[in-house]
Structure 1
Amino acid sequence: MAGEERLDGGLNEVVRIGNTVRRPVGPWSDSVHELLTELESHGFAGAPRFLGTDDEGREILSVVQGERPWPPGPMLFEDGLLESTAALVRRYHDAVEGWAPATRRWQRAPVAVGEPEVICHNDIAPWNLIAQDGVATGFVDWDTAAPGPRMWDLAYVAYTFVPLAAPENRGPMGWPDPVRVRERLALVRDAYGCSQQQWQLLLATIPARVRAAYDTMRIWAAQERPGWRAQWEQPEPWRHGAGYLRDLAYLGASVKDWQ
């Protein structure tokens, strides 16, 4: 189509036309579209608007204005971005609590996630965050949204934003050392407004959430899902999810010290 600008869409072929983004649809898309429409009705500005489908059958979404703090750079290292991200997650969770779409067909991960409390985004990470002036303003790429526990989303925020990566993984990603892990975890806790029970649950959930990310990549790559095989076959040091395994070893040795 004339005027298309190819975007970095991760696992999908994504293009921008004017102030809209066009993306392929899947069996889960009707539920995602209901979710985005529900968020719009609540006045939640942190998600794209669903604007219909085009002649090629792609979904049409509004552009969430701002910039992505990825790859890692100065904006991502600021405490203010971390705090505003956790606070935006809380506003999102509160907006959808108790809601479910009519279709209820999601792209669910092939692993157990726990008892559902809300519709989780399931991939809130720096590569799916939009920010303006160092403040988180929106999330994109909602294809893997599905029911799950609140702490499932927040655990992935902690993992990818603090970050809770093994020290040997931080350098290749562009993160500086050392990371003020305890302080930045506390910012996530306080900005989200965790109760003491949620805080303990968050710490317990983080390793399970990272294991789920590893297992999902492994399983969906074996099933030849579009894009996932390429993720699994990344060059070293990430090949076959090796980075996740190093992170899991680091978490196993460290979580008890973050209480």
Structure 2
Amino acid sequence: MVEYVEGTLAMDQSPLGNDDLRRVGRMIREIHDASEATVIANPGGWKMLLPAENPDLMCHNDLAPWNLIMGERWVFIDWDGAGPSTRLWDLAYAAQSFGQLVHGQPVAEAAIRLGAFADGYAADDSLRKALPAAMAKRATAMFNLLKSSNETGFQPWAAMYLNGHGDHWRTAAEYVAHNQEAWAHALVQR
């Protein structure tokens, strides 16, 4: 622990409002932009749980409501999974989780949240076009990690699969993949 930061987890205030989502998007953009100056020695040599293709940026890899403290300061915590990735792969996970793109959420409302998040990030056209498919691929990868971990006994993921995370990520992956058109429409740059 480097320091204690007073506040509450963003997941306890979910879903976040559009202004808060834009703020989160800006924070993640600042992290990604600052990371561009970091030289990654042997990016393909890192053992990443969900590796990105052609990693070129040092990323958090778990930017989600369960890792954001909101208080006087907003701070991302839990950097133990940090490592080589890409802007798109890291952003896909964050957009899906902060936008609450999960089974049971009204698609129109989730799409508005996704748009606010991407606007805060100031995502360009190419990133916006790639994001829907990347979110589906990233959510599926998370489900596959949990499922294979359960089959092999790889902890803590095996226990998480049985404790509801497997069902959550299976239905999230299906929801994100099924609603690609809504996400693409919400991400059209305004």
The reply to whether residue 202 of structure 1 matches residue 131 of structure 2 is: yes
Query: Residue in 2 aligned with 1:108?
Result: 48
- Which whole-Å CA distance do the structure 2 matches of 1:247 and 1:258 have between them? 14
Which ranges in structure 2 are unaligned for 5 or more consecutive residues?
185-190
The reply to whether residue 181 of structure 1 matches residue 110 of structure 2 is: yes
The number of equivalent residue pairs is: 183
Counterpart mapping for 1:1-259 below 5 A: 21=1, 61-71=2-12, 73=13, 76-100=15-39, 106-109=46-49, 111-132=50-71, 137-167=74-104, 180-234=109-163, 238=164, 241-259=166-184
Deviation readout 1:181-224 (Å, 9 max, x if unpaired): 22211111111111101101112200011011112222334443
Residues 1:188 and 1:77: Cα distance change in structure 2 (over 3 Å): closer
Which ranges in structure 1 are unaligned for 5 or more consecutive residues?
1-20, 22-60, 171-176
Higher relative contact order (CA 8 A, sep 6+): 2
Structure that is richer in helix per residue: 2
Residues 1:149 and 1:219: Cα distance change in structure 2 (over 3 Å): same
- Which whole-Å CA distance do the structure 2 matches of 1:191 and 1:124 have between them? 15
The letter for the 2-side match of 1:208 is K
The letter for the 2-side match of 1:82 is L
Flag the structure with larger Rg.
Answer: 1
RMSD after superposition: 2.4
1:115 match: secondary structure:
coil
The letter for the 2-side match of 1:150 is R
TM-score w.r.t. the length of structure 1 is: 0.63
The letter for the 2-side match of 1:142 is W
Tell me by how many angstroms 1:178 deviates: 7.2
